[in-house]
Amino acid sequence: MPNNPQSPQKSDITTLITAFSTASGFQKSNRFRINILPPTSIPGGTQITPKAFTVFASNIQTPSQSIIFYEDTMSPSGPPISIPIRRNYDDRYIIEFIVDKKWNIRSFFDSWMNALFLNTGPNENSTRVQYFTDIVGTLEIEALDQNDNVAKTITLYDAYPKQIIPTQFSNDTPNQYLTLIVDMMYRYYTIT
């Protein structure tokens, strides 16, 4: 693993504060952009068109990954041996959006969720679902540097909305923006 050229050689508080405030080699958590490429099956009627577009998200997370192991307990002595058998990705990917004044972002995700089913409106339920390839899209999370250059891109494949978390209005915070939290499913991701 290469050494971090920005790592301070001393650990006193002044050195650490100086290193973090002046270093250009650290990723800031508020420097990101999210691009969505939804499926073409999303019907019209929303201001957001079904092609690749960039939306403003107030909070996102990086996807998780773990390894599933098989515990081999047949060894003659010693502890069990953990044998890796497959990769596992978290089944939740939560994105928090700021709601625009026409609620286009909410309409977009409502349309996407409605498009999962055949011949249903927002007040109908159906057990007939679309083909998987017709309902999935792609999400790109771009980590940006201070000059808005893309440092890394995390791409989530075969993504679709699983749940729209309830939105809460409140009189306690009159100057705060309303947010929409969407829980997405995805099959796998890459980092480039």
> What digits encode the pLDDT tens for the residues 124-165?
666 667 777 788 889 889 888 878 888 889 999 999 999 998
Q: What is the DSSP letter of 26?
A: S
- Whether 47 has a pLDDT exceeding 50, the answer reads no
Mean pLDDT for the chain?
78
Buried b (16+ CB within 10 A) or exposed e, 15-45: eeeebeeeeeeeeeeeebbbebbbbebbeee
Helical spans, DSSP H, in 64-147: 104-114, 132-135
CA–CA separation, 96 and 29 (whole Å)? 14
Backbone Cα Rg of the chain: 22
